[in-house]
A and B are shown apart, each in its own frame.
Chain A
Amino acid sequence: MKHARIAWTGAVHQAVPHGEHQLQLVDGRIINEDEVVWLPPVTPRTVFALGLNYADHAKELAFKAPEVPLVFLKGTNAFTGHRGISRRPADATYMHYECELAVIIGTSGYRISKAHAMEHVAGYTVANDYAIRDYLENWYRPNLRVKNRDACTPLGPWWVDRDDIADPMKLALTTRVNGAVTQQGTTADMIFDIPTLIEYLSSFMTLSPGDIILTGTPEGLADVKVGDVIDTEIEGIGCLTNTIVDDATWFGVDKQGVNAQ
C-alpha cells in the first residue's frame, strides 16, 4: 500500500493513490491529484543521511569509500513534499540533486542485529537530498549550510509498505532533469546496506518510529538551474518531482508591494 499525506480544502489528510491521477481519502472521497498540496509522507523525527554510500559516487567526488558509514543529520526545516520548490540562491554556482532510497523506521529498537533489522522497517519513500557545494566547508562536513537548508530535501510522493518491496537492495534509481535522464543506479551498489546501517546506528542510539535513513546516492551528479524540473524516481516506490526557483520567486519579490498601505 502507498500512503500519502496531503493538504486539500483546508485540512491535512491521509490518502492512497486511486488510478493514475487521483487519490482516495480515508472516507472514500476521490480527488484529483492536481488539486492537492503534497506534504512529506511522514512527519520526520530524527533523519539520518549517508554520504559516499555508493562506491561509484565516492569515486566521482574523489573520495576513498568510507570504512564506517559517513552519517549526518537533518532538522525538520529541511523537508518539503512532492511537487514542491527548492531555492537556488543567487550566489550558488553548483547545486546538485541526490536521488536516495529513504528507509522509514516503524518500531523502536536499540542494538538491533542485522538479522532482525528489517523487522524495524515500516517502509520506504524517495528523497532528493540537494546539496549546494559552494557552501562546503571542512567542518563536520557535509556541513549544515550545504545539507540542512530550508525545503532542500524533498520527500515523497508517498511511502510504501516494507512488504510491498520484495528486495530493497535491488531497486533502480533514476533522476531526470527536464525529462532527460542524468543519473542511473541501483541500490545493489550501496556500500553499507539497509540492515548494516540499522545495526550500526542502533549500536549507539535508539531508533524510533518516524526516524528516516536516507541511504545515499549513486554517481551522476549534475548542476541544476532555476526553472529545472527534477524527477527522482525509485523502482516500485514512486517518482518525486521538484522545481528549482530563484530568490525572487522564493521570496515572492513580484508580489511585494501589492498590498502596501
Chain B
Amino acid sequence: MTITPFCISSPPPVSGTIYGVVLNDHHSIARFGTAVDDAPYKGAPKAPAMYLKPANTVVGNGAAITLPADESAVEIGATVGIVIGAPAARLSTDTAMDVVAGYALVADLSLPHSSYYRPAIREKCFDGACPVAEVRPASEIGTLSTIVLTTFIGGQPVAERSLADLVRDVPQLLTDVTEFMTLSVGDMLLVGVEYLAPQAAAGNQVRITAGPLGSLEFSIHTRTEALTS
C-alpha cells in the first residue's frame, strides 16, 4: 500500500471559523442516558454545547490524515456544516434561514473521548481533524431532515444516521447560537455529531455519503507510517 506522507486534497471550502455542537440528536441523548444528571455535568445542557474546529483542522476531499503521536484510532463524526452567507446575530427562527448560503458534508474527527466536561482540544483540534466536502447551495438541498449520512470504513458500512433526528433543527440552532455570538460570512456551524461515533484505525480508508450533499473520502495514518514511508 502506498502511503501519502502529507495531506494532498482539494482545497477546503471554508474561510471562517467552524463551530460544532454535541448532543443535538435524540439518539445520542438516549445513549448518554442519565449520565447527564450526574457529576460532573449535573444537568442536561441548556445552551447548545459547543466547540471549535480551528483552521489547522480543515482539509478537503481526499485528504490523508496523520494522527498525533501515540494515537491509533479516531472517531468519525459524520455531520453537515451550515455555511453562513450573511452576518448573523440575534436571529429568530423566522429569519434564520436567510443567512444560510449552503451546506457541506463534514467529518468531525475526534480522538476517542467519552467525557464532554472539559474542552477536548487535543482530541478535536489535531491537524486534519475536519475534512470538509464541497459546499452545495441551500436552494439545491432543501430541508436537512431528508438527509441520511452513511459512514463506510474500509469499504464496509458501519453507521447510518438521519438528520430528521436533530433536537435543534437548523433555524433553531442558528437562533440559539446567535443569541450570544455573531457568526460571520464564511463561518460554518456543524449540526451535531453522534456520541461515541464509530472509530477508524490507522490505515483505514473512510467514506461518508450524504445523498444530495455528495460524498467525502479520506484516509487515516499514524505518525510512524507517515514518517517512514
Point out the residues of chain A lying under 8 angstroms from B19, CB to CB. Answer: 75, 144
Q: How many Å lie between the Cα of A46 and that of B17 in the bound state?
A: 9
Q: How many Å lie between the Cα of A67 and that of B11 in the bound state?
A: 37
Q: How far is the CB of B202 from chain A (nearest CB, A)?
A: 15
Q: How many Å lie between the Cα of A81 and that of B91 in the bound state?
A: 26
**A93 close to B (CB within 8 Å):** no
**Are A75 and B181 neighbours in the complex by a CB distance under 8 Å?**
yes
Q: Which of A75, A139, A145, A206 contacts B56 (CB 8 A)?
A: A206
**Are B17 and A75 neighbours in the complex by a CB distance under 8 Å?**
yes
**Are A150 and B116 neighbours in the complex by a CB distance under 8 Å?**
no
Point out the residues of chain B lying under 8 angstroms from A72, CB to CB. Answer: 119, 121
**Are B42 and A144 neighbours in the complex by a CB distance under 8 Å?**
no
* Segment with Cβ contacts to A, from B73-81, B122-130, B157-165: B122-130
Q: How many Å lie between the Cα of A204 and that of B50 in the bound state?
A: 21
Main secondary structure on A side of the interface with B: loop
**Are B68 and A204 neighbours in the complex by a CB distance under 8 Å?**
yes
Point out the residues of chain A lying under 8 angstroms from B17, CB to CB. Answer: 75-76
Of all chain A residues, which has the CB nearest B23?
Answer: A139
Of all chain B residues, which has the CB nearest A140?
Answer: B119
Given A76-B184, A139-B41, A150-B89; A205-B118 close (CB under 8 Å): no
**A141 close to B (CB within 8 Å):** yes
**Are B54 and A139 neighbours in the complex by a CB distance under 8 Å?**
no
**Are A139 and B116 neighbours in the complex by a CB distance under 8 Å?**
yes
Point out the residues of chain A lying under 8 angstroms from B89, CB to CB. Answer: 150
| B47, B56, B117, B119: residue with the most chain A Cβ atoms closer than 10 Å | B119
Q: How far is the CB of B17 from chain A (nearest CB, A)?
A: 4
1/0 per residue A210-244: CB within 8 Å of B? 00000000000000000000000000000000000
Interface bracket on A:
20 to 34
Of all chain A residues, which has the CB nearest B67?
Answer: A204
**Are B121 and A149 neighbours in the complex by a CB distance under 8 Å?**
no
Q: How far is the CB of B56 from chain A (nearest CB, A)?
A: 5
**B12 close to A (CB within 8 Å):** no
Of all chain A residues, which has the CB nearest B177?
Answer: A144
Point out the residues of chain B lying under 8 angstroms from A140, CB to CB. Answer: 22, 49-51, 116-120
Point out the residues of chain B lying under 8 angstroms from A205, CB to CB. Answer: 54, 56-57, 125-127
**B182 close to A (CB within 8 Å):** yes
Point out the residues of chain B lying under 8 angstroms from A110, CB to CB. Answer: 127
**Are B47 and A143 neighbours in the complex by a CB distance under 8 Å?**
yes
**A114 close to B (CB within 8 Å):** no
Q: How many Å lie between the Cα of A72 and that of B119 in the bound state?
A: 6
Within 8 A of A (CB), among B58-72: 68-69
Given A140-B116, A145-B47, A206-B127; A71-B121 close (CB under 8 Å): yes
Q: How many Å lie between the Cα of A71 and that of B187 in the bound state?
A: 22
**Are A149 and B68 neighbours in the complex by a CB distance under 8 Å?**
no
Q: How many Å lie between the Cα of A77 and that of B178 in the bound state?
A: 11
Given A148-B181, A204-B126; A139-B121 close (CB under 8 Å): no
Point out the residues of chain A lying under 8 angstroms from B54, CB to CB. Answer: 46, 73, 205
**A107 close to B (CB within 8 Å):** no
Give chain B's interface residues, CB within 8 Å of chain A: 16-17, 19, 22-23, 40-43, 45-47, 49-52, 54-57, 68-69, 89, 116-122, 125-127, 180-184, 187
Additional A-B contacts beyond A143-B49, A204-B127 (7; CB < 8 A): A45-B55, A73-B54, A73-B125, A138-B41, A139-B23, A150-B180, A150-B181
Give chain A's interface residues, CB within 8 Å of chain B: 45-46, 48, 70-78, 110-111, 135, 137-145, 148-150, 201, 203-206, 208
